[in-house]
């Protein structure tokens, strides 16, 4: 990426930050299509994700939501930090709060989220537990653009994960995390290279960028293809 300005990324996380760590590692190796993780934001001061960021020498901002009168108040402070670091894209990787109007207005179409299911199936918390309770034969991973709803934004990429007989929450989580650690960087890399974008509520890929792979494989695909494939891969 010699001669080109880096694409500045902020990663939001609330927990252990295993997906954050993957992005930090690739950022350090210059393997995110020009993307650089320059800020980590968390609503859980003291969480492992913040420790990972600090160990990597990346700036952090942690806040207690209850210390603010409302969501707009703390999002305005987050926005100040994003502007300070000239953030181009926000990546939600285990961030357990809905993004509000302040950030959506400032970064609409530039916020993505990682979710451990084949959306629209099993949105919200404990998607792995929801999948097990439903008895489906497969679940998966989705990376999607963020809108005002809970896991309702247009999907950028999805990959199915089989639910094997005898799987429990721990064993299924291991399989899902393995896919997350590959799929999220693929999408971030494509975004930083300008290979995928959101326009008029639809996801667009530059020709050849997605490799023609479908949702049932190691898939990256746009929203229209997902509509055709959803019935095949939802698992119920």
Residue 236 is among the residues annotated as catalytic for this protein: no
Write out pLDDT tens, residues 196-210.
Answer: 999 999 999 998 665
pLDDT, position 5: 82
pLDDT, position 208: 67
Q: Does 71 appear as a known binding residue? A: yes
Global confidence as pTM: 0.88
The values of phi and psi at residue 39, to 5°, are: -155, 135
- SS3 of 123-146: CCCCHHHHHHHHCCCEEEEEEEEC
**Confidence grade of residue 212 (pLDDT, cut at 50, 70, 90):** very low
pLDDT-above-90 percentage for the chain: 85
**Confidence grade of residue 222 (pLDDT, cut at 50, 70, 90):** very low
Q: Does 18 appear as a known binding residue? A: yes
pLDDT-above-70 percentage for the chain: 86
What domains sit in the chain, N to C, each tagged with a CATH number? 7-233 (3.40.50.170)
Q: Does 99 appear as a known binding residue? A: yes
Report, as an integer, the average pLDDT of 44-49.
Answer: 97
Report, as an integer, the average pLDDT of 4-26.
Answer: 96
Check pLDDT > 80 for residue 49: yes
pLDDT, position 214: 37
Tell me if residue 7 falls in helix, strand or coil. strand
Q: Does 42 appear as a known binding residue? A: no
Q: Does 20 appear as a known binding residue? A: no
Check pLDDT > 70 for residue 115: yes
Report CA torsion sign: 96, 37, 26, 91. positive
Strand positions, DSSP E, the chain: 7-12, 35-42, 59-62, 89-92, 111-115, 138-145, 155-162, 196-199, 202-205
Name the active-site residue from 85, 115, 144, 177.
Answer: 115
Check pLDDT > 50 for residue 136: yes
């Amino acid at each position: 990426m010699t001669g080109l300005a880096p694409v500045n990324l902020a990663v939001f996380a609330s927990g252990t930050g295993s997906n954050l760590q993957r992005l930090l590692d690739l950022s350090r190796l210059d393997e995110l299509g020009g993307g650089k993780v320059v800020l980590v934001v968390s609503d859980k001061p003291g969480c492992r994700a913040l420790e990972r960021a600090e160990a990597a020498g990346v700036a952090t901002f942690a806040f207690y939501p209850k210390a603010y009168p409302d969501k707009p108040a703390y999002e305005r402070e987050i926005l100040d930090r994003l502007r300070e670091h000239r953030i181009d894209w926000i990546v939600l990787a285990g961030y357990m709060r809905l993004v509000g109007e302040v950030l959506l207005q400032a970064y609409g179409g530039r916020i993505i989220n990682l979710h451990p299911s084949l959306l629209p199936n099993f949105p919200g918390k404990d998607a792995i537990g929801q999948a097990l309770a439903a008895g489906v034969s497969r679940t998966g991973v989705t990376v999607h653009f963020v809108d005002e709803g809970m896991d309702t934004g247009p999907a950028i990429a999805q990959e199915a994960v089989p639910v094997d007989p005898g799987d429990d929450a721990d064993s299924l989580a291991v399989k899902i995390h393995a896919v997350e650690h590959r799929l999220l960087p693929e999408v971030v890399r494509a975004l930083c290279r300008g290979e995928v974008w959101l326009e008029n509520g639809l996801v667009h890929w530059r020709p050849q960028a997605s490799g023609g792979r479908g949702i049932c494989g190691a898939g990256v695909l746009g929203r229209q293809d997902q509509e055709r494939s959803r019935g095949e891969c939802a698992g119920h």
